[in-house]
C-alpha cells in the first residue's frame, strides 16, 4: 500500500493503493462485505452479518486495517455498536455503547434512538473513534469502540437545542449528526454536519463548537441567511487540502475555502434539468478539484429518486466550475435513492467508485465513473457503503 | 422468579428463554440480569430509565409502565417485543 511521503504518524490519509479491497455495506436488514481482488474485477459477497438488524453504518479502521465497527439496532431493541478486530469474522458488542447522560430527577433527558455515523479518529490517536447519533449527539471512544463517552462540549453545549432545532426538527427518519471530519494536520480540529443544524467546527478537540454556514442557503427557514439550522447531507474536507470543504446540502452543492470563510454554491453550474440536490458526495483522493455527486429529485414532495428516473453520477474536475454526466452502464430508468452515506471511493488509479441503492443494488466503476457495472443485487435497502483498502 | 426472554434478546442469555432473578422491583430484577448478561438492559431500557417504545414488560399478566413496579418471589416477568408493525 502506498502512502503520502509525510510520516504516517502525522498523516491519516493513504492517497494511493493497488492491493485488494472490500466494500462494506450497511443495510436495513444487516451488513455485508464485498471482497474484491486488486484488479477490482472479481468480487465475492459475504453472508449477511447481523441479519435482521438495522445496520446504519459499517466502518473500517484504516489505521490497523483489520478493525470494523458497526452501528446497529433492531426494530425493537435499542442502539448499540459492535466491533470486530478480524475484519468481520467475529464480533463483540461495545461494553458501554453511546448513550446520553441520565437527566436529573424531574428533568427530561435525551434518548439516543440510533447511532448513525462512525468515523475513525486521527492517525496519531489509535483506538479513537467518533460516533454521530440521532438525535444529534457526538460520542468518542478511546479504546477501539469498547466504551463510549459523550463529547460534552457538544452534547451539553448551551446552544445545542437551538442549533439542532430540538427534538421535533429534523429529517423524516430522525435528526442526525453525521459527516465527522478530523483535520489530518490537527486531531483537535474537527467538523461535523447535522441534519438539521448545519456545519459546525471545533478547534479544541470538541470542547466548543461554532457554526460554519455563511453563504449556504436554508430556504426552508423563514429568516434570511440564518447562522445555523441548515441541512447538510454530506460534508467532507479534502485530506490533501484540509482548508477546502465540500458539502452536498439540502439546498445544493457547495465548496468553501477557509481563507474565504463562505460557502459558494458550485451546484449552480449543474444542468438546470438535473439540479444540485442529492445526498452523497465523494472526493478524489489525489485531486482536490475532483468531486462526484449523485443528484436526486428534490422538487415538490421530494421523491429523492434520480431526476426523471434517470440515474447518473456527476463529476466536476475543476472544483465545481463545470460538471460531467457519468451514466454509462447504469439503468436507463430506475427509481432508487442513494443515501448520504451510501457512496464511496477507493484510492486506486484510476479511482473506483461504489454506491448502494435503496433497491438493494451495489454499483461500481473502476474508472472514476466513466462506466458502471452492478456488483450485487437483491440486497436489503442499502444505508451505507464504504471502500476499505486491504493489505 | 422466572423472567421470560424474547428471541431478539437471547443472544445475551446464552439462548436461554427463561432466566431466574430476584428483586423487589422490575428495575432491580433487570439490574441483576444485566450483571449476569452485560449489555442486556440498554437494549430494552433507555438511558433515562424508560422501557423502550416497542418493548412491553408484564408481571404475570399485568403490563407495567415503569421499572418501579413491585415484584415478588413466584411472579413471572415477561419481556415482550411488542407487535408494532414493521418493515
Residue in B closest to A103 by C-alpha: B48
Q: Residue A74's closest CA among A82, A66, A85?
A: A82
Cβ(A155)–Cβ(A177) below 8 Å: no
Element (H, E) at A169: none
Q: What are phi and psi of A133, to 5 degrees?
A: -130, 170
Q: What are phi and psi of A363, to 5 degrees?
A: -110, 150
Query: Whose grid coordinates read 448551551?
Result: A158
Collect all residues from A whose CB is shorter than 8 A from any CB in B: 28, 74-78, 80, 93-95, 97, 99-103, 108-112
Q: Cβ of A220: how many Cβ atoms within 10 Å? A: 11
The pairing of strands B2-4 and B76-81 is parallel
Cβ(A254)–Cβ(A213) below 8 Å: no
Q: Work out the minimum CA distance from A100 to partner chain B, whole angstroms.
A: 7
Check residue A6 and give its pLDDT.
42
The 3-state DSSP class for residue A359 equals coil
Q: Residue A344's closest CA among A36, A92, A48, A124?
A: A36
CB contact (8 A) between residue B54 and residue A28: no
Check residue A2 and give its pLDDT.
34
| ipTM for the whole complex | 0.92
- CATH class of the domain whose range is A85-98+111-352+361-376: mainly beta
Tens-place pLDDT, residues A195-232: 999 999 999 999 999 999 999 999 999 988 999 999 99
* CB-count exposure of residue A128 (10 Å: 0-12, 13-18, 19+): buried
Tell whether B54 is within 8 A of chain A (Cβ).
yes
Check residue A10 and give its pLDDT.
43
The verdict on domain B2-81 having CATH code 3.10.20.30 is: yes
Q: Which of A78, A101, A110 lies closest to B43 in CB terms?
A: A78
Check residue A171 and give its pLDDT.
67
The pairing of strands A198-202 and A176-183 is unpaired
Domain edges within chain A: 85-98+111-352+361-376
Query: Whose grid coordinates read 428471541?
Result: B7
- Sequence-ordered alpha helix ranges (H) in A294-361: none
CB contact (8 A) between residue A100 and residue B44: no
Longest dimension (CA), chain A: 60
Q: Residue A386's closest CA among A58, A21, A56?
A: A58
Cβ(B29)–Cβ(B3) below 8 Å: yes
Q: What are phi and psi of A268, to 5 degrees?
A: -65, -20
Tell whether B84 is within 8 A of chain A (Cβ).
yes
Check residue A16 and give its pLDDT.
87
Cβ(A323)–Cβ(A315) below 8 Å: yes
Cβ(A11)–Cβ(A4) below 8 Å: yes
Q: Residue B30's closest CA among B62, B59, B61?
A: B59
Tens-place pLDDT, residues B22-66: 999 999 999 999 999 999 999 999 999 999 999 999 999 999 999
Cβ(A249)–Cβ(A231) below 8 Å: yes
**Cα-based distances in Å from A341 to A3, A17, A58, A382:** 25, 22, 10, 9
Report the residue of B44, B48, B57, B79 to disrupt the A interface, i.e. the one with the largest count of A CBs within 10 Å. Answer: B48
pTM over 0.90: yes
Check residue A12 and give its pLDDT.
52
Segment A251-255 mean pLDDT: 98
pLDDT band at A7 (very low <50, low <70, confident <90, very high): very low
Tens-place pLDDT, residues A67-79: 999 999 999 999 9
**pLDDT exceeds cutoff 70 at A170:** no
pLDDT band at A166 (very low <50, low <70, confident <90, very high): confident
As a dihedral over the C-alpha atoms of residue A197, residue A198, residue A201, residue A205, rounded to 10 degrees, the angle is 40
Is pLDDT larger for residue A178 or for residue A4? Answer: A178
Q: What angle do CA A177, A210, A123 make, to 5 degrees?
A: 65
Domain edges within chain B: 2-81
Would you say how long chain A is, in residues? 391
- Please state, rounded to an integer, the average pLDDT across all residues of chain A: 94
The residues with which A119 forms a beta bridge, in sequence order, are A130
Amino acid at each position: 500500500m502506498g502512502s503520502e511521503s509525510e510520516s504516517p504518524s502525522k498523516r491519516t490519509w493513504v492517497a494511493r493503493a493497488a492491493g485488494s479491497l472490500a466494500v462494506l455495506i450497511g443495510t436495513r436488514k444487516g451488513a455485508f462485505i464485498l471482497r474484491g481482488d486488486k484488479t477490482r474485477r472479481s468480487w465475492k459477497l459475504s453472508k449477511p452479518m447481523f441479519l435482521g438488524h438495522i445496520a446504519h453504518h459499517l466502518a473500517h479502521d484504516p489505521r490497523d486495517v483489520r478493525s470494523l465497527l458497526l452501528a446497529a439496532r433492531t426494530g425493537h431493541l435499542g442502539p448499540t455498536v459492535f466491533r470486530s478486530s478480524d475484519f468481520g469474522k467475529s464480533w463483540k458488542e461495545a461494553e458501554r455503547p453511546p448513550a446520553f447522560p441520565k437527566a436529573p430527577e424531574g428533568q427530561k433527558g435525551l434518548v439516543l434512538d440510533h447511532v448513525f455515523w462512525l468515523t475513525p479518529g486521527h492517525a496519531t490517536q489509535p483506538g479513537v473513534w467518533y460516533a454521530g447519533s440521532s438525535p444529534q449527539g457526538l460520542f468518542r471512544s478511546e479504546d477501539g469502540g469498547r466504551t463510549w463517552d459523550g463529547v460534552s462540549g457538544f452534547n451539553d453545549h448551551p446552544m445545542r437545542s437551538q442549533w439542532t432545532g430540538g427534538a421535533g426538527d429534523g429529517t423524516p427518519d430522525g435528526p442526525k449528526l453525521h459527516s465527522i471530519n478530523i483535520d489530518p494536520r490537527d486531531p483537535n480540529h474537527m467538523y461535523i454536519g447535522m441534519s438539521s443544524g448545519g456545519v459546525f467546527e471545533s478547534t479544541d478537540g470538541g470542547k466548543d463548537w461554532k457554526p460554519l454556514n455563511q453563504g449556504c442557503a436554508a430556504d426552508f427557514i423563514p429568516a434570511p441567511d440564518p447562522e445555523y439550522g441548515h441541512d447538510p447531507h454530506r460534508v467532507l474536507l479534502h485530506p490533501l487540502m484540509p482548508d477546502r470543504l465540500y458539502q452536498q446540502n439540502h439546498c445544493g452543492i457547495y465548496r468553501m475555502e477557509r481563507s474565504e470563510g463562505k460557502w459558494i454554491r458550485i451546484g449552480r453550474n449543474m444542468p438546470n434539468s438535473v439540479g444540485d440536490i442529492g445526498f452523497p458526495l465523494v472526493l478524489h483522493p489525489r485531486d482536490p478539484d475532483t468531486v462526484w455527486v449523485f443528484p436526486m429529485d428534490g422538487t415538490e414532495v421530494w421523491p429523492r429518486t434520480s431526476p426523471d428516473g434517470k440515474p447518473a453520477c456527476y463529476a466536476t474536475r475543476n472544483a465545481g466550475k463545470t460538471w460531467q454526466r457519468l451514466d454509462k452502464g447504469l439503468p436507463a430508468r430506475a427509481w432508487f435513492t442513494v443515501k448520504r452515506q451510501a457512496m464511496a471511493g477507493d484510492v486506486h488509479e484510476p479511482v473506483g467508485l461504489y454506491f448502494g441503492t435503496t433497491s438493494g443494488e451495489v454499483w461500481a466503476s473502476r474508472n472514476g465513473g466513466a462506466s458502471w457495472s452492478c456488483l450485487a443485487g437483491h440486497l436489503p435497502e442499502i444505508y451505507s457503503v464504504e471502500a476499505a483498502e486491504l493489505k | 422468579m422466572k423472567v421470560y426472554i424474547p428471541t431478539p434478546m437471547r443472544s445475551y442469555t446464552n439462548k436461554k428463554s427463561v432466566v431466574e432473578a430476584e428483586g423487589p422491583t422490575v428495575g432491580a430484577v433487570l439490574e441483576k440480569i444485566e450483571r449476569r448478561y452485560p449489555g442486556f438492559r440498554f437494549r430494552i431500557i433507555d438511558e433515562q430509565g424508560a422501557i423502550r417504545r416497542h418493548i412491553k414488560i408484564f408481571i404475570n399478566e399485568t403490563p407495567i409502565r415503569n421499572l418501579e413496579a413491585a415484584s415478588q418471589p413466584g411472579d413471572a416477568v415477561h419481556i415482550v417485543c411488542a407487535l408494532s408493525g414493521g418493515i
